[in-house]
Amino acid sequence: MSDSGVTGYTTVRGEHRNDTEVRRSRFIAVARGISSEDDARTFLTDLRREFHDARHHCSAVVLGPDRLIQRANDDGEPSGTAGSPMLDAILKRETAGGETNLSDVAVVVVRYFGGVLLGAGGLVRAYSDAASRVLDSAPLIRRRLLQRLAVTVDHADAGRVENDLRNTGIEVVGTDYLADRVLIQVAVDAGTASVEAFTARLASLTAGKSGAQLHDLKWVDCD
């Protein structure tokens, strides 16, 4: 289990862009899946280089399964009119099942000023809409926290146990044949209930002869 108790969230797959115009100003919104604040800084640097002649490169970042790391930058726009609305768009973006759990994502909105002042309210709407639109059209992916376990079985039982585990929906991630035993590596959803359910299923499949040892926790991307 993660420290926060979160066992799943959603992120952006790769990078996605959306281009809109508001009263002659051009807003280029770019969303990218990231894994660290260093990734976010590199992303922003890349876009500053690509759109070097733009007036503003505003950004918002959310990181971590619990979304505790949150950053917003107005980059010269009036305070609170760009980065904060963009951050709010990330935090309120609904994912599968109506959840609001989008994380490990950075959004940058590049603005080319068109000569018409939008006012504070107009800027908030423009940046919020730009961020929302790029997130609405970006490909999303579910990230799950899995508990990996090693099941110990005799050589004679290994094939049957592995097949039985697969047939009951357990994810088998590897099999190690040792001199005196076989270790079948499996992964289940993190959490006490899932591990206990797996242990009970294993006991039923092997008549109590095989046990499972907890290994590490791992975040994996699921289609």
How many Å apart are CA 13 and CA 37, to the nearest integer? Answer: 17
Quickly list H helices, the chain.
37-50, 83-92, 119-137, 155-167, 192-206
Per-residue confidence band for 111, with pLDDT thresholds at 50, 70 and 90: very high
Q: What is the mean pLDDT of the chain?
A: 92
Domain 8-138 in CATH 3.30.230.30? The answer is yes
φ and ψ at residue 176, rounded to 5 degrees: -115, 120
Model pLDDT, residue 1: 45
Confidence check: pLDDT of 68 > 60: yes
Residue intervals of the chain classified under CATH 3.30.70.240 are 143-222
Confidence check: pLDDT of 204 > 90: no
Q: What does the pLDDT average to over 139-151?
A: 92
Q: What does the pLDDT average to over 70-89?
A: 97
Which residue type occupies 40? Answer: A
Residue intervals of the chain classified under CATH 3.30.230.30 are 8-138
- For 143-222, which CATH class? alpha beta
Q: In the 8-state DSSP scheme, what is residue 98?
A: G
Residues forming a β-bridge with 172: 186
Per-residue confidence band for 192, with pLDDT thresholds at 50, 70 and 90: confident
